[in-house]
Chains A and B, each alone.
Chain A
Amino acid sequence: MTNAIATSSSSTRDEAPFMTALLPRLKATAAGPTWLAELRREAAAWFSAHGLPHPKEEAWRFTSLRPLSRVAPSLVPARLSTGTLPAGVTLSKLDAAEGRLAQLASTHHAFAALNTALFEDALVIEVAPGRVVEAPLEIAHFARASARATLSLPRVIVIAGEGSQLQLVERYCAEGGTSLTAGVTELFVEANADVEHVRVLDGAPSAYNISITAVRQARDSRYTSRVATFGGALSRLDLRVLLDGEGAECTLDGLYLAGDDEHVDHQTFIDHARAHGTSHEKYKGVLQGSGRAVFDGGIAVRHGAQQTNAHQENRNLVLSDRATVNTKPSLVIDADDVKCSHGATVGQLDPAALFYLRARGIGEAGARALLAFAFAREMTGRITPPGLRRELVQAVLERMPEGRLLAAEDDV
């Protein structure tokens, strides 16, 4: 260990076990075809030089990486599994992603750089132009328990051709044992294409998931993201959507739950780069025990992106006085003919509603559970595949205080 530090030429922060464990890998010859090797070298150099983000960086102010920096992980294969491949979806070779890979997820982001430098295998998903894929495509990543701390780097590229339609369900699960998953998913939504992207993260104690989803939308395309994050020692998602063609529309929905010793962090950024774009964003969170949540919602409306319509909402329900929420909307508007609005709330259960339920015979615990579930239900209700919706409802109930008191009926 001491030797590794002595030979490292980087800054002192690299002395953290995390960097020490990874530096030899980052110095090794970059694998893959020439175009990729070039990207990997650049990413490795950037990450080696910068290391883990500093707590003073704005994007990491409320999310501490100190526990993670003490972990010395070993790289394990990311093992992304796909469900049955629906008709119309092609899994392509990595070369099909040349010119696209790492174009949306910046290599100047620690975890994107780490992934680009070291990912072992990427899933390249293509939908041919005009193709309407009827069944949802499921992809899953499972961080398995291991005696040693593990690092896995799932990498996904989705290219939805012009006028195509796809529903993608992406899942991250973890079991006990210390693990870091740093996934990168890049989606190219071509002109007039329509992608609905459900992302479910089921966290576990000692499971760190710090992932990036980056989307580029061409003209008249639709992208709908539905994020459900259930706890985790640290579950962080950076979701960036670039509306890079006129008339593009995106919807970003999110539901997050955090309980004791759990920390969830959602950083979304919607970049309205062209005119006539629309974005709707709504994230809701339920906090219990010593749970912590961070929401940072950035919206930029670039010069010339006239007739932009952007709406953002972040609502938090705090069920414990030990829970913490940091919510920060930030809008930067450089066009003059736009409609933008945002709102953030952090609140508790409505005492008037609680009394109303109790005055009808519903016990206090059941009334609290019902109201908390009703708050979350707005978001699960938007999940369209019925099987998945029921599964998420069940997951929410299991994580709610007294959720077992409620019937897991669809009609709650």
Chain B
Amino acid sequence: MSAPMLQIEGLFVEVDEKPIIKGLDLELETGAVHAIMGPNGSGKSTLANVLAGRDGYVVTGGSVRYQGRDLLAMPAEERAREGVFLAFQYPVEIPGVSNLYFLKAALNAVKKHRGQDELDAMDFMDLAKEKMKLVEMDAALGQRAVNSGFSGGEKKRNEIFQMALLEPKLAVLDETDSGLDIDALRVVASGVNALRSAERSMLLITHYQRLLHYIEPDQVHVLVDGRIVATGDRYLAEELERSGYADYEKQAAQRSEASA
């Protein structure tokens, strides 16, 4: 048996010396799509950033294994080259760097790491055009500076376009659905669905159940106060939609009172 794609055990994370993730366990098999839902401040984005290797997120306990290897020991760029992809909640604007130049540099860094031939400008353009169609992205956005002046929807499409180009093994989508109108959500979701495969695992981090109408997860986890408090199938998400997080938050508050 090969190791799971992602195995998180007893993870504790602090930001600015404040505990955010407090003993999180999660296992994601190869090819599986899991959703993590939770209220504001539950640690959703912290989890996404820890997995991607952002500075300032201090792991104080537990482990994260990616295909059996210690993910936390790798610098951010190595994780990306090894196939971990984070779709940012807030994609960063980078004036002065064209979107396609940036992606060609990224793709070639990944290819080089994997011992594959780097793409020349022509081959890259062909590939980019093909992948842009997947998210119905305007070709002009390729020439523009990375995310500069993009609308919210264009930024999120750009994230999925990048994911399509880089072909990760593990994709973490951090609130990719937030702030999207229904048309943009449909486009983004169909792009994600097109990228589902038996070799690729996905972690959908979301605040809203709406996304899960379009992308059907194999499992849904509820994250409250830094821990997974419930796990189920997609009906759990529908139940959450009706009842909200209030009961889970109340339980979490009692738990932390009890431990205090």
A375 to B95, CA, bound (A): 8
Stretch at the interface among B26-34, B74-82, B127-135: B74-82
Q: Are A359 and B86 in contact (CB under 8 A)?
A: yes
Stretch at the interface among B17-25, B52-60, B185-193, B228-236: B52-60
Would you list which residues of chain B between 128 and 152 have a CB under 8 Å from chain A?
Answer: 143, 145-146
**CB-based nearest B residue for A351:** B55
Asked if B66 is an interface residue, CB under 8 A from chain A, the answer is no
Q: Are A362 and B106 in contact (CB under 8 A)?
A: yes
Asked if A144 is an interface residue, CB under 8 A from chain B, the answer is no
Q: Are B55 and A355 in contact (CB under 8 A)?
A: yes
Would you list which residues of chain A between 362 and 388 have a CB under 8 Å from chain B?
Answer: 362-364, 366-367, 370-371, 373-375, 377-378
Chain B min CB distance to A178 (Å): 37
Asked if B208 is an interface residue, CB under 8 A from chain A, the answer is no
Q: Are A356 and B91 in contact (CB under 8 A)?
A: yes
Asked if A58 is an interface residue, CB under 8 A from chain B, the answer is no
Asked if A280 is an interface residue, CB under 8 A from chain B, the answer is no
Chain B min CB distance to A372 (Å): 10
Question: Among the listed B96, B103, B110, which residue makes an inter-chain contact with A375, where contact means beta carbons less than 8 Å apart?
Answer: B96
A378 to B162, CA, bound (A): 25
Q: Are B94 and A353 in contact (CB under 8 A)?
A: yes
Question: Among the listed A355, A358, A361, A377, which residue makes an inter-chain contact with B96, where contact means beta carbons less than 8 Å apart?
Answer: A377
Interface residue tally for chain A (C-beta within 8 Å): 27
Would you list which residues of chain B between 88 and 111 have a CB under 8 Å from chain A?
Answer: 88, 91-98, 100-103, 105-107, 109-110
Q: Are A374 and B86 in contact (CB under 8 A)?
A: no
Residues in A whose Cβ lies below 8 Å from that of B80: 358-361
User: Given A360-B162, A361-B166, do A370 and B105 touch, yes or no (CB 8 Å)?
Assistant: yes
A96 to B204, CA, bound (A): 76
**CB-based nearest B residue for A360:** B106
Residue among A364, A374, A377, A411 with max Cβ neighbours from chain B (10 Å): A374
A402 to B115, CA, bound (A): 22
Flag A389-412 by CB within 8 Å of B: 1 or 0 each.
Answer: 000000000000000000101011
Asked if B69 is an interface residue, CB under 8 A from chain A, the answer is no
User: Given A355-B54, A356-B88, do A366 and B94 touch, yes or no (CB 8 Å)?
Assistant: no
**CB-based nearest A residue for B110:** A361
Question: Among the listed B76, B93, B101, which residue makes an inter-chain contact with A411, where contact means beta carbons less than 8 Å apart?
Answer: B101
Asked if A28 is an interface residue, CB under 8 A from chain B, the answer is no
Asked if B113 is an interface residue, CB under 8 A from chain A, the answer is yes
Question: Among the listed B75, B98, B166, which residue makes an inter-chain contact with A358, where contact means beta carbons less than 8 Å apart?
Answer: B75
Question: Among the listed B55, B113, B146, which residue makes an inter-chain contact with A361, where contact means beta carbons less than 8 Å apart?
Answer: B113
Residues in A whose Cβ lies below 8 Å from that of B107: 361
Chain A min CB distance to B128 (Å): 12
Question: Among the listed A350, A355, A371, A411, which residue makes an inter-chain contact with B100, where contact means beta carbons less than 8 Å apart?
Answer: A411
Chain B min CB distance to A349 (Å): 11
Q: Are A359 and B101 in contact (CB under 8 A)?
A: no
Chain B min CB distance to A220 (Å): 33
Q: Are B97 and A370 in contact (CB under 8 A)?
A: yes
Q: Are A366 and B76 in contact (CB under 8 A)?
A: no
A350 to B93, CA, bound (A): 10
A350 to B95, CA, bound (A): 11
Chain B min CB distance to A279 (Å): 23
Asked if A147 is an interface residue, CB under 8 A from chain B, the answer is no
User: Given A353-B92, A358-B75, A360-B80, do A412 and B97 touch, yes or no (CB 8 Å)?
Assistant: yes
A260 to B81, CA, bound (A): 34
Chain B min CB distance to A63 (Å): 29
Q: Are A356 and B95 in contact (CB under 8 A)?
A: no
Q: Are B101 and A356 in contact (CB under 8 A)?
A: no
A359 to B53, CA, bound (A): 8
Asked if A357 is an interface residue, CB under 8 A from chain B, the answer is yes
A356 to B145, CA, bound (A): 14
Asked if A6 is an interface residue, CB under 8 A from chain B, the answer is no
A286 to B11, CA, bound (A): 41
User: Given A355-B76, A356-B92, do A361 and B109 touch, yes or no (CB 8 Å)?
Assistant: yes
Asked if A352 is an interface residue, CB under 8 A from chain B, the answer is yes
Q: Are B81 and A361 in contact (CB under 8 A)?
A: yes
Residues in B whose Cβ lies below 8 Å from that of A375: 96
Q: Are A374 and B77 in contact (CB under 8 A)?
A: no
Would you list 30 pairs from A and B whose C-beta atoms are within 8 A, ordered by A residue? A351-B55, A353-B92, A353-B93, A353-B94, A356-B88, A356-B91, A356-B92, A357-B102, A358-B53, A358-B80, A359-B54, A359-B76, A359-B77, A360-B103, A360-B166, A361-B109, A361-B110, A363-B77, A364-B75, A366-B105, A366-B109, A370-B105, A371-B94, A374-B94, A377-B96, A407-B105, A409-B101, A411-B101, A411-B143, A412-B98
- 6 closest A-B pairs by beta carbon, nearest first, are A374-B96, A361-B80, A360-B106, A356-B92, A358-B76, A361-B109
- Give residues in B with beta carbon < 8 Å to A: 52-55, 75-77, 79-81, 86, 88, 91-98, 100-103, 105-107, 109-110, 113, 121, 143, 145-146, 162, 166
- Give residues in A with beta carbon < 8 Å to B: 350-353, 355-364, 366-367, 370-371, 373-375, 377-378, 407, 409, 411-412
